[in-house]
């Protein structure tokens, strides 16, 4: 049930109509049933996984609370939660990858391996809800929050359908209180929700899907037949495809949740205007980057130890962050490149501290350079294999010629991405993600009308699925 489908909107408005007439407890039960229906629409067998994860973490958290200060027991309990959740991820997401990689290695060493293959389908969104529910037990373990009293409320926190399959990864401290206390839907929520839904649909249906046409054409071609211009434009197209796709999903999740009185976190803040890798990760997939920071980087020691330890912690965090996206060496390389870049930037910043206030040309140059490096990392992220990525990288050395594919790719990038970028420059300038909601209503009406006509007349001829559903 995709957010850009009639089926989803029929489902959502049906749920919403019943939701508004129910009392708080009834609303929670309705949302739980709706969330399980939503998730089961992909494959009902996946429901057992999310239910299992929910039961384990609910019990673990209750036991953690009951165990008082018995540290040994508390550690065993939290380890159980981590092992169960990472075990689910390991079996369903990484088993095949590790088996194939081990088989490849053994073959290279001259053995004839016959390793088992489970042939398991990857459950949609498993990386998101396992991280969400794990953060809950870790927070209870750290005594940063109290465990949920009601199992069904906790089950709703884990499975809340707007953000279930592609985030944002919400912390228990933020979302659970919104589940357990009565919610009021004000006109302000309607206003914010409408903006999020319309802009989110625009980013997905218009920007991401049209950019997917260019990116898919380039990345599915024989890499030796492409010119440097085609590769460059293919990578740029993918950069805006993945941004439009993922930010679009997050916005729709925020908007639909808002119409039910929930406030989900902002997952993106104009990431392509970042001026450094640190800045990029403060703006891109914020719910994951903060999760990795709080539950991996800082527990590893963060930047508290020697420089060497800090670099090691950065690399470990980013490589695992890469692997979180998928079981493929391309994601490992993507994480490694980001880790290396962060480490180099940290080293340089320590020796050449940047000026606190920079003139705009300097900022623009820094944004441009950061965007180019981000695009290099996207090349690894999107490539079918590391070999393809390396061929593309060597192709980028030139020559740059304008072929027909390059002309149409450039034209579509200009037509679909430039209006969005102009709007985001304004949002960045205003330093307010919801700046549009503060302008005069006719301006907003014109903006929404433009979005509606873009949605009606410029969807891609071939729609694509949301990229992050596979993670």
Binding footprint of other proteins on the chain (CB under 8 A): 5-7, 10, 187-188, 190-191, 194, 213-214, 216-217, 220-222, 404-405, 407-409, 411-412, 415, 441-442, 444-445, 448-449, 452-453, 456-459, 461-462
3-state secondary structure of 49: helix
Asked whether 334 and 380 are in contact (CB, 8 A), the reply is: yes
Q: How far is the CB of 151 from other proteins (least distance, A)?
A: 33
* Residues involved in catalysis: 325
- Of 209 and 275, the one with the shorter C-beta distance to other proteins is 209
From the number of C-beta atoms within 10 Å of its C-beta (0-12, 13-18, 19+), residue 62 rates as middle
b (16+ CB within 10 A) / e for 237-268: bbbbbbbbbbbbbbbbbbbbbbbbbbebbbbb
- Of 151 and 453, the one with the shorter C-beta distance to other proteins is 453
Euclidean distance between CA atoms 380 and 390, whole angstroms: 8
- Of 190 and 426, the one with the shorter C-beta distance to other proteins is 190
39's enclosing H/E stretch is helix 24-40
Minimal CA–CA distance to 230: which of 211, 213, 215, 209? 215
- Of 213 and 323, the one with the shorter C-beta distance to other proteins is 213
Q: How far is the CB of 382 from other proteins (least distance, A)?
A: 16
Asked whether 95 and 118 are in contact (CB, 8 A), the reply is: yes
Q: How far is the CB of 190 from other proteins (least distance, A)?
A: 6
The two counts, helices (H) then strands (E), for the chain are 20, 0
Q: How far is the CB of 10 from other proteins (least distance, A)?
A: 8
- Of 124 and 451, the one with the shorter C-beta distance to other proteins is 451
Euclidean distance between CA atoms 306 and 429, whole angstroms: 38
Neighbours of 178 (CB within 10 A): 18
Q: What percent helix, strand, coil does the chain show, rounded to 5?
A: 75, 0, 25
Q: How far is the CB of 415 from other proteins (least distance, A)?
A: 6
């Amino acid at each position: 049930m995709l957010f850009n489908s009639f089926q989803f909107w029929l489902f959502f408005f049906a749920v919403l109509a019943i939701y508004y007439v129910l009392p708080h407890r009834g609303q929670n039960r309705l949302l739980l049933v709706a969330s399980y229906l939503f998730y089961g629409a992909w494959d009902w067998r996946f429901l057992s996984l999310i239910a299992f994860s929910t039961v384990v973490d609910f019990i673990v958290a209750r036991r953690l609370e009951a165990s008082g200060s018995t540290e040994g027991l508390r550690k065993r309990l939290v380890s159980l939660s981590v092992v169960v959740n990472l075990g689910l991820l390991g079996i369903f997401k990484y088993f095949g990858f590790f088996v194939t990689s081990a088989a490849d290695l053994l073959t290279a060493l001259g053995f004839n391996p016959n390793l088992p293959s489970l042939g398991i389908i990857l459950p949609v969104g498993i990386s998101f809800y396992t991280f969400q529910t794990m953060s809950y037990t870790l927070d209870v373990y750290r005594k940063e929050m109290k465990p949920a009293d009601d199992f069904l409320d906790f089950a709703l926190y884990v499975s809340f359908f707007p953000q279930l399959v592609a985030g944002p990864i919400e912390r228990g401290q933020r979302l659970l209180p919104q589940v357990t206390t009565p919610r009021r839907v004000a006109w302000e929520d309607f206003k914010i929700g409408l903006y999020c839904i319309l802009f989110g649909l625009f980013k997905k249906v218009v920007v991401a899907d049209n950019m997917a046409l260019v990116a898919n054409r380039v990345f599915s071609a024989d890499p030796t037949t492409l010119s440097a211009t085609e590769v460059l434009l293919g990578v740029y197209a993918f950069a805006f495809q993945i941004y439009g796709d993922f930010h679009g999903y997050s916005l729709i999740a925020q908007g639909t949740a808002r119409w039910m009185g929930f406030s989900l976190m902002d997952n993106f803040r104009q990431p392509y205007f970042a001026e450094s890798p640190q800045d990029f990760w403060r703006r891109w997939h914020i719910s994951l980057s903060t999760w990795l920071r709080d539950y991996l980087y800082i527990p590893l020691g963060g930047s508290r130890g020697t420089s060497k330890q800090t670099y090691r912690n950065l690399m470990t965090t980013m490589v695992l962050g890469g692997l979180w996206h998928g079981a493929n060496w391309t994601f490992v390389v993507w994480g490694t490149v980001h880790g290396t870049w962060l480490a180099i930037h940290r080293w340089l910043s320590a020796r050449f501290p940047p000026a606190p206030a920079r003139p705009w040309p300097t900022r623009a140059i820094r944004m441009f350079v950061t965007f180019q490096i981000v695009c290099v990392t996207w090349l690894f992220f999107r490539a079918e294999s590391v070999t393809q990525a390396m061929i593309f990288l060597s192709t980028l050395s030139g020559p740059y010629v304008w072929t027909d594919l390059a002309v149409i790719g450039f034209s579509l990038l200009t037509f679909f991405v430039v209006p969005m970028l102009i709007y985001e420059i304004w949002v960045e300038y205003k330093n307010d993600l919801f700046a549009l909601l503060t302008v005069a209503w006719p301006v907003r009406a014109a903006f929404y009308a433009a979005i509606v006509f873009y949605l009606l007349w410029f969807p891609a001829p071939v729609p694509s699925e949301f990229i992050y559903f596979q993670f």
